[in-house]
Amino acid sequence: MHILTYPDPVLYRQASPVDRIGPAERKLCDQMLETLYQARGVGLAAPQVGVSVRIAVIDLNTPEIGRDPLVLINPVITRREGEILWDEGCLSCPGFRTEMKRSGEVWVRARNQEGREIEISGRNLLAVVIQHELDHFEGKLLVDQAGRLRKSLYLRKLKKMQREKS
Ligand code: NI
């Protein structure tokens, strides 16, 4: 699947909850995971592939554990603890990074690809990725959450990248 990038309007929409988890939804999850691996990312939200629904796929793919896909459908954070600063990027904002303040640990209730209700918790990178993907459901993009200076520097960089492409 093609990953939409800033400033595509789909990225700014409120994503709808998924009310039925059937073959089409399962296929979307599989395609999103495939796209995530191809892009070598750690998380991807459905709005980033142009589908404005509350599905996120995550895989930290650490050397110790390897591939360990996590599918979150309609995820809700039920508890947060602590605070952490993390240098984040986003597949929809290529070439952009910024430090974000996030909760250090989060507890999440969601459905998985089979439609079963699951409860998970994550800390550090996993907590950061979960919060980042949930922001996508609210139409919140990393570039807009950074300071004004960082954003204007990125816009200049984007223009330069576009000029070099054409
Ligand atoms: Ni992102």
Per-residue pLDDT tens over the stretch 24-50? 999 999 999 999 999 999 999 999 999
Using 50, 70 and 90 to split pLDDT, how confident is the model at 76? Answer: very high
Cα 69 from chain centre: 14
User: Is the model more confident about 63 or about 108?
Assistant: 108
Number of folded domains in the chain?
Answer: 1
Whether residue 85 lies inside any domain: the answer is: yes
Q: Which domain covers residue 69, as residue numbers?
A: 9-165
Whether residue 2 lies inside any domain: the answer is: no
Catalytic-role residue among 88, 119, 133, 164: 133
Centre of ligand 1 to C-alpha 166, Å, is 26
Centre of ligand 1 to C-alpha 118, Å, is 23
Q: Is the pLDDT of residue 166 over 80?
A: no
Q: Clarify whether 25 is annotated catalytic.
A: no
Per-residue pLDDT tens over the stretch 96-132? 999 999 999 999 999 999 999 999 999 999 999 999 9
Per-residue pLDDT tens over the stretch 128-153? 999 999 999 999 999 999 989 999 99
The model carries a pTM of 0.96
Whether residue 1 lies inside any domain: the answer is: no
Any idea what the CATH number is for the domain that residue 80 is in?
3.90.45.10
b/e sequence 71-90, b meaning 16+ C-beta within 10 Å: bbbbbeeeeeeeebebebeb
Centre of ligand 1 to C-alpha 88, Å, is 9
